[in-house]
Amino acid sequence: MAPTFVITVILFPLETAVVAAIVWGATGLALLSIGLGRLQGVDPKPIVFEHLLVGAVVIVAAHLVGLGISSILA
């Protein structure tokens, strides 16, 4: 799935590509989480919420680390 994110960068300007990649990643994560919940025979909503929350935390953390590195190198 990771190489599909490159497509967004090729097709769109950078700001649009970032938003498209986030939407694409969240959609894939939600669909995989739904499948996982169904496979386990439980309600998938809490699993989807948990995985999307963790994904959002990872995105924010990666952004903050990038800002930190950028400020050190600038």
- 46, 54 in Cβ contact below 8 A? no
Q: Is the pLDDT confidence value at 63 over 90?
A: yes
Task: Give the mean pLDDT of the chain.
Answer: 95
- 48, 30 in Cβ contact below 8 A? yes
Q: How confident is residue 13, by pLDDT bands cut at 50, 70 and 90? A: very high
pLDDT in tens, 16-47: 999 999 999 999 999 999 999 999 999 999 99
pLDDT score, position 1: 86
Full-model pTM: 0.84
pLDDT score, position 70: 95
The vertex-36 CA angle with 28 and 24, nearest 5°, equals 5
